[in-house]
Structure formats: C-alpha cells, structure tokens
Amino acid sequence: MKIQADITTCLLDRLPPFYLNEKEVCLADILNVASIDTLRLSIFSQNSSLLSFEKSLEMLDLSTRVRLLSPQITQINAETRSHIANYQKNSLCKSAKICGQSTCETAPVENTIKQGLYLCIHCSDTWADPSHQDIPAAWNFSDMKGLKFCFVDYLTFIFETVKAKNINVRYIQVGNEISNGLLWPFLRSPYEYVDFVKTAHYLCRQYFPTAAIVLHTDLSYSSEKANQWYEVMEKTKVDYDLVGLSYYPVWHGPLKELEKTVSDVSQLTGKKVILNEIGYMNTEQKTSAWFGHWKCDDIPYSPEGQRLYLEYFKEFLQQKLTSYLHPEMFYWGMFSYHNDEHFPVALFDRRGNALPTFYELNR
C-alpha cells in the first residue's frame, strides 16, 4: 500500500517551514524523501475567491518542482540517498521563498506540476464533513435551479483552471464526506442530492476522462450504514470508480469494523475502496477537532506510537483487505503542524521537524 498526502488550498497560501535533520527543506524535498507522487488537494471556495484558487495552484506548482536535495539532507540514510539520487537530473525547484534557499535552479515557467493531483472539492468556504456542509457565502441564488447553476458554474471554473495548467489529475471527488448531505440545508438525504452528484461526475468525465472519480463518505465505522448509502448510489446509477472512506481510529473505532465495511461495500458495489483520509495522533493532547479517546490496540498517542500504528495498519491492510482495496491511500493533515486544531495528526512537530512516522511512510 502506497501512502500519499493531503494538502489544502488555504495551507498553500501560508506554507510553514519544514526541517529534515534540522535542515530547512521545501515541499518538493518532503515529497521526494517520502516517495509521495500524488497530492490530494482539498479545495475550499474561500468565499468563492477565484483568484485565491488560481494562486493556490501556482503555489503548488512552484513548491512541488522536483530537485536534488542538498548534501546535508542526503545524510539521512543510505536508502534515502539512493532515492534522492534518482532525481539528480530534475533540479527544477523554482521559488526561493518556498524552498527556503536561494541556490535552487529555475525551471521554465511553462513546466507544470510534476506530481499527480487528486482534486477534492469541498463546495464550501471551509471544511466540509458530516457536521458541516455549508454553501459558499458568495453563491447568489433564490431557488434550487439557481443553486444548481452556482454549483455547476463553480465546478466548471475549477476544472477549466486546472485543465488549462496541464496538470496530471489522477482522482476527483466532488463533496467531502457527504454521508449526511451536500450544500446544506437544501440537500440532506442521498435521494435529494444524487442529481447534483450525477451532474458533477458528468463534468468530471468531460474534463478529465482518465481520472478516477471517488465517492467519499466517513462510514468506515459501520458496514450497515455504508451499505445503505452506497446502495442508493448503485440503484440510482451514479457513475463513479472508487468507494472513498475516511478512517481514523480516534473517531471510527476498531480495525475489525473497518475490515467488515471495506469488504462488504466493495462486494456490494463491485468497486475497490480507497482510504482517502487516514491518520493517527502523535500526542495525548486533545483539541476540539480530535476529541475521541479510542486507540488502536492501545498503541499510545505519541510520535513513536504514531509510527508503530502506521506500521501495524499497513500490515493489517496487506493481510486482510488487499483484494478489496485500491493500492493507494492518503494521509490527512500531514503538513498541518502549525495549526493548533489539526496538529495532533501531523507528521511534523511544533517546530516543523519531521517525526519518526514521516520516514516510515513508504518504506
């Protein structure tokens, strides 16, 4: 199982510094060392500021250009040195601000993002999840027809902007964890919003015919609820490629329930399941965002516990669920160490130093 990463448009606007072996590095370095080649970009409308989205893509383009790491960084270990050597001919980092260095070679402006991109469109000014599915404040409408027009117009802008930049889009999802609805308060039940989902997926096919469409919920904790929800999608003939599930032990409970949910929903739909949000806490500190208490087999919430959990988790998936799972999954909040709400699941400490889990991601 390959682990990829999630990043948000709002984080790209104020990307914090990162350190490997106390040496400041850029996002390209982080991705190279961890063997990450696809980023799940969580897109907020930010009051439908179209310029903000374009800026986020530009920042992502500058910060993910592949380059050779400095000699100090290559002292991490032999395996990492070997991995980095493969990038010797691709010294393409563009921005000194993003890299934290002024000696990076500059790439031609027309070169675009080298990594693959997973478009995760929240259709909200902020996080969309089972408790929040708020319509962007700038959408101006008076009825359902107007709401759908705003929805289509927004998606069309995003897709045209991305397509114009020649970005390698590998996955798309419209709506995040939509088990409880989409665009509240108007679309609450699956039968109410299935038409919007179908329209969104039609646009996905038109703009990015080779990208896999993901239908994402948080229902990994209940096989019964997941089957009921995805059965509606099947009965109404929604076009999609992968079942998307979030799984955090702190919220979703034991691995045995995840095992049952993944196997059952995969057999129901005839589709593979992608774990498009995973994570484990690196501290016992609780925040309003990470308030649960359940631990995986009592593995502690600590930097070392986080590393042990990920090792255990990957082995569990390999042994139990290989035939039902898509071979990639996405670690959520990896870079958010500067955010008090989301720090507990990050793979960097409060100063931006990589935690042990980071080095084990794709070993």
pLDDT at 102: 30
Residue 255 forms part of a structural domain: yes
The rounded distance, in Å, linking the Cα atoms of 31 and 361 is 11
The rounded distance, in Å, linking the Cα atoms of 30 and 324 is 30
Angle between helices 223-235 and 190-207 (to 10 degrees): 60
Listed residue (337, 313, 317) closest to 325, CA to CA = 317
Token output for 86? 């493969």
pLDDT at 17: 87
Residue type, 211: A
Whole-model pTM?
0.86
The rounded distance, in Å, linking the Cα atoms of 112 and 95 is 14
Reported confidence tier of residue 108, pLDDT bands at 50, 70, 90: very low
Residue 81 forms part of a structural domain: no
Please give the share of the chain, as a percent, with pLDDT higher than 70.
80
The per-residue pLDDT for range 183-195, each reduced to its tens digit, is: 999 989 899 999 9
Torsion angle defined by CA atoms of residues 175, 316, 331 and 107, in that order, rounded to the nearest 10 degrees: -120
Residue 92 forms part of a structural domain: no
Q: How many CA atoms lie within 13 A of 135 on its CB side?
A: 18
Residue 112 has pLDDT above 80, yes or no: no
pLDDT at 73: 39
CATH number at 355 reads: 3.20.20.80
Residue 5 forms part of a structural domain: no
- pLDDT averaged over the chain? 83
Residue 269 forms part of a structural domain: yes
Residue 131 forms part of a structural domain: yes
pLDDT at 289: 66
pLDDT at 267: 98
Q: How many domains does the chain contain in total?
A: 1
The per-residue pLDDT for range 301-315, each reduced to its tens digit, is: 999 999 999 999 999
Residue 304 forms part of a structural domain: yes
15-35: b (≥16 Cβ within 10 Å) or e: beebbbeebbbbbbbbbbbbe
The per-residue pLDDT for range 338-360, each reduced to its tens digit, is: 777 778 899 999 889 999 999 98
The boundaries of the domain holding residue 341 are 106-360
Residue 293 has pLDDT above 90, yes or no: no
Reported confidence tier of residue 114, pLDDT bands at 50, 70, 90: low
pLDDT at 302: 92
Q: Provide the residue count of the chain.
A: 363
The per-residue pLDDT for range 123-173, each reduced to its tens digit, is: 998 889 998 999 998 899 899 999 999 999 999 999 999 998 888 999 999
Q: Are 42 and 176 in contact (CB under 8 A)?
A: yes
More confident residue, 14 or 181: 181
Listed residue (13, 22, 21, 41) closest to 334, CA to CA = 41
The per-residue pLDDT for range 63-100, each reduced to its tens digit, is: 665 433 333 433 444 444 443 344 333 333 333 333 33
Average pLDDT over residues 32-41: 91
pLDDT at 297: 75
Please give the share of the chain, as a percent, with pLDDT higher than 90.
55
Reported confidence tier of residue 235, pLDDT bands at 50, 70, 90: very high
The per-residue pLDDT for range 44-57, each reduced to its tens digit, is: 886 544 446 777 77
Q: Which long-range contacts (CB under 8 A, 24 or more apart) does 129-136 make?
A: 129/176, 129/177, 129/218, 130/177, 130/179, 130/180, 130/218, 131/180, 133/175, 133/178, 133/180, 133/181, 133/182, 133/183, 133/184, 133/187, 134/184, 135/183, 135/184, 135/186, 136/45, 136/47, 136/48
Displacement of CA 244 from its chain's centroid (Å): 11
Q: Are 268 and 261 in contact (CB under 8 A)?
A: no
Residue 147 forms part of a structural domain: yes
